[in-house]
Structure 1
Amino acid sequence: MSDVKKLLIVEDDLGLQRQLRWAYDGYEVIVAADRGEAIAAMRAEEPAVVTLDLGLPPDPDGTAEGFATLAGILALAPETKVIVASGHGARESALRAIADGAWDFYAKPIDIDALGLIVARAFHVHALEAENRRLAARTEGGTVLGGIITASPEMLKVTRTIERVAPAGVSVMVLGASGTGKELLARGLHEASRRKGAFVAINCAAIPEALLESELFGHEKGAFTGAVRTVEGKIEAAQGGTLFLDEIGDVPPAIQVKLLRFLQERVIERVGGRKPIAVDTRVVCATHRDVDAMVADGSFREDLYYRLAEIVVRVPSLAERPGDAGLLARAFLARHAKAMNPAVTGLSADARAAIDAHGWPGNVRELENRMKRAVIMADARHVTAADLDLAPAEDASAGINLRAARERADRLAIRHALARSDGNISATARLLGVSRPTLYDLLKSYDLGAGAAGA
């Protein structure tokens, strides 16, 4: 795939054509003056972003030809980011353009710098979505770490960390709220580690204290009432593989001591046994609790913490992964509709808005459960907000509140560009397609700085 960013400008004013072509010297600019030329350019050049003046001939004083051009572009390439500009009834045109699939709207007269930011952001989002489609394709082939579906830089950073530490054999502690995918990451780590043994998971919070020791270390025949045979524990079952200790923060102090001995000496003794058993098992643990606070108050052994947390990975909540809720919702819909209700094919506009607006306190687990229920309950082809048992977005125009949307997108795009350029202002400005003074103004107005790359 070429790295050249192709921008199609659909504008019948020759003077404005020249001005826009000059302003976008960082892109490969293609120009069209009417619908026919625009559609031909779309077929020949496949631009990622289009700026479209709605006032096109033969109806330069109206918008009918512009909307017909918008429909034609999106019919050819639905993933294209089309930025519509018009001076004709700006609010009404904006509402209709966004409803018809335009990515953004800008009212004339055109401010080149402001439009340049929108264009740069459109290329950025287009690239993210292309990367997401690539990841989704890899997920279908089972090669993405743990089956994680994401396009957020925050979560991709986590998966890259897991991939890097997987072959090293060190103990890993995964921290994050319930439902964020900690076990998926642990499974992905095991698969990437090339260990040939099994992946064995145990939820330490779900097993009573009296039984947890036996579950972990096994027991000998006759060790206690009801022990009619010798049983190996989860640690032995993971010989040559990976043991995943979920909710490690709930392990009682007495068992913490035995876990520490195992991690130090790599031997265990079954309950009721006297013979040390050597075990080659890698330990990955997870918890939603504040382990640092538990160490400080003495409820979790500090020496055990340092044995378990040779590498600490913090998993962001779903609310901290912009865009992932909608992405995951579509993936869950496709998965569950196939098995439960094949008539369901997509999400309605109010469902997409409600998914974006919801805080997802239960994270990915909550989202999947709601999608499963919605697929079963849906009466139409598209799942609605009501099917999801979510309130519609309070403001029906929230999706086209351009000032708020632009500010959110500006912040995200600037952070990404700063990160990619290691905080270099000149390089960041080039990536965003703006001048240095414009970038400085944005950094000041959004209270961002070169350090925002690591924020």
Structure 2
Amino acid sequence: MISGRIIIVDDDPVTISIFDRILTREGHRVESFAEAGKAAVAALEAPPDLVITDLKMPGESGLSLLERVRSRVPDLPVIVVTGHSSIESAVEAMKKGAYDYIQKPVDPDDLAFVVRRVLEAVELRDENRVLRAELAQAPPAPRLLGEHAEMKRLFDRIDKAARVMSHVLITGETGTGKELVAKEIHRLSGRRGPFVPVHCGALAETLLENELFGHEKGAFTGAGETRAGLVEAAQGGTLFLDEVACVSAALQIKLLRLLQERTFRRVGGTREIRADVRFLAATNRDLGALAAKGEFREDLYHRLNVVVIGIPPLRDRRSDIPFLADHFLMRARASTGKQVNEIPPEVLAVLSAYVWLGNVRELENVIEGVVALMDGDSIALADLPARLTEPAVGGNHGGGLRPLKEMERAHIQRVLAACHGDRGKAAAILGIDKSTLWRKLKEYEEAVGGAKE
């Protein structure tokens, strides 16, 4: 409950006593005055959260008080109190900036409700101002960048997908920008609700179900109150299911029902809730292959696989690497305050030749890390991480060319060794999340075990 400092102005001591008792009970701090002049001085010296004033009083009127305080403190909300015979005065007060009016005799519940509503509106207004100020000072949000023909085709598909309400499945390797694609579809769709991302691989099954659908009071131990989930939070907007391949079989059934019927129930609830939500999903795995092996529901796969947008890996658009590197350098300059020259040709050559298994995210992390640790004003080859400049380890295939999977495995093992086995740090350097790194390491272990058998 919001509480505030409230100034009450009325020449009737009984009215002041009643208002004081009601508002104090609601948790507000009350200051009362019998004269508008004294109330105006107090309000201007230390503006309260709200002023409640009678309109008709001996000496200075409530209307005059309204004009005085509003001329000096334009945002100060004022509620006027009026009798049945002076509604015209209340209307005039509203025209002069009064937030609301209350009729005498005043009902205690009505007074408490109106005050609560005004203070909540003021709090929301102040929060929006702070948010707008923060957004004005914040660096630009990350966005999709690229001039390669593959990226131009991607931008065209995003534009077309945004115009329809069909489900969209976004595919691509880790670090290619699947969430950025989802955000762009939402932005271009014109949907007024929020964009709500859900990282399905980061939560256990029961936690993910609760996050998505919310719960009713008493649904489980500790559920002391009803809580809306992320599906409800996305009403009128877009729900983005990232790493959808990680969803458990049991939860896949509930997701399928949500996509088919556009209704759901909170955990522990019986009431059907309608979902006005656009669904986007993303994966770095082959959902079709998983469905064929029975590791992902085939009916859910077909529900998601309506509009498919594939994001090219960075190695398939190497001509974008210098452009992206310069962009990330500008962002790193802004965040560190360092004056760094343009990236020299020999460094760009190394960046362009490297196999970016973590794709754009890994490139961004490398540029940010280099700028953070460098001492001079120009990036040198010695500033780059060793993995970019050292020759690849392991056996050769076809005159030094090796399969991508083998290069990925060798690179991950090299980064893990450099981090002394710290998977969190290795995942950050690779530009992938810890669950993806854990899955890849598990695949390598299974491959070794299979070879031994």
AA at the equivalent of 1:372? E
Give CA-to-partner distance per residue, 1:320-369, whole Å, 9 cap, x none: 11211211110000011122042212212221111011000000110111
Q: Within 5 A, what are the aligned runs for 1:294-305?
A: 294-305=290-301
| Contact map agreement 2:215 2:227 (CA 8 A) in 1 | yes
What is the aligned partner in structure 2 of residue 101 from structure 1?
A: none
| Contact map agreement 1:175 1:314 (CA 8 A) in 2 | yes
Q: Which of residues 343, 350, 354 is equivalent to 2:350?
A: 354
Deviation at 1:260, TM superposition (A): 0.6
What is the aligned partner in structure 1 of residue 254 from structure 2?
A: 258
What is the aligned partner in structure 2 of residue 187 from structure 1?
A: 183
Give CA-to-partner distance per residue, 1:407-431, whole Å, 9 cap, x none: xxxxxxxxxxxxxxxxxxxxxxxxx
| Contact map agreement 1:350 1:392 (CA 8 A) in 2 | no
State the secondary structure of the residue aligned to 1:184: helix
Of all paired residues, the percent bearing the same amino acid is 45
Aligned-partner Cα distance in 1 for 2:386–2:353: 10
Q: 1:243 to 1:384 in 2, by over 3 A?
A: same
Aligned-partner Cα distance in 2 for 1:317–1:194: 28
Give CA-to-partner distance per residue, 1:254-313, whole Å, 9 cap, x none: 110001111111101000000000011010000001111101011111111111111011
Q: Which of residues 168, 172, 186 is equivalent to 1:172?
A: 168
Give CA-to-partner distance per residue, 1:58-87, whole Å, 9 cap, x none: xxxxxxxxxxxxxxxxxxxxxxxxxxxxxx
Aligned-partner Cα distance in 2 for 1:250–1:392: 31
| Contact map agreement 1:256 1:304 (CA 8 A) in 2 | yes
1:376 pairs with 2:372: yes
1:203 pairs with 2:199: yes
What is the aligned partner in structure 2 of residue 268 from structure 1?
A: 264
Aligned-partner Cα distance in 2 for 1:229–1:391: 51
| Contact map agreement 1:341 1:375 (CA 8 A) in 2 | no
State the secondary structure of the residue aligned to 1:174: strand
What is the aligned partner in structure 1 of residue 340 from structure 2?
A: 344
Aligned-partner Cα distance in 1 for 2:271–2:179: 32
AA at the equivalent of 2:279? V
Q: Within 5 A, what are the aligned runs for 1:151-166?
A: 151-166=147-162
Q: Within 5 A, what are the aligned runs for 1:299-448?
A: 299-390=295-386
Q: Which of residues 284, 287, 303 is equivalent to 1:288?
A: 284
State the secondary structure of the residue aligned to 1:147: coil
TM-score normalized with structure 2 length = 0.54
Q: 1:188 to 1:292 in 2, by over 3 A?
A: same
1:214 pairs with 2:210: yes
Aligned-partner Cα distance in 2 for 1:245–1:322: 29
Give CA-to-partner distance per residue, 1:43-71, whole Å, 9 cap, x none: xxxxxxxxxxxxxxxxxxxxxxxxxxxxx
Aligned-partner Cα distance in 1 for 2:212–2:265: 10
Deviation at 1:391, TM superposition (A): 6.0
Give CA-to-partner distance per residue, 1:365-386, whole Å, 9 cap, x none: 1011111111111222221232
Please provide the CA RMSD for this pair.
2.0
Aligned-partner Cα distance in 1 for 2:342–2:354: 18
| Contact map agreement 1:357 1:393 (CA 8 A) in 2 | no
Aligned-partner Cα distance in 2 for 1:229–1:202: 22
Q: 1:236 to 1:293 in 2, by over 3 A?
A: same
| Contact map agreement 1:166 1:193 (CA 8 A) in 2 | yes
5+ residue gaps, structure 2:
1-139, 392-453
State the secondary structure of the residue aligned to 1:243: strand
| Contact map agreement 2:197 2:239 (CA 8 A) in 1 | yes
What is the aligned partner in structure 2 of residue 278 from structure 1?
A: 274
Aligned-partner Cα distance in 2 for 1:387–1:394: 13
Deviation at 1:390, TM superposition (A): 4.6
Larger radius of gyration: 2
State the secondary structure of the residue aligned to 2:338: coil
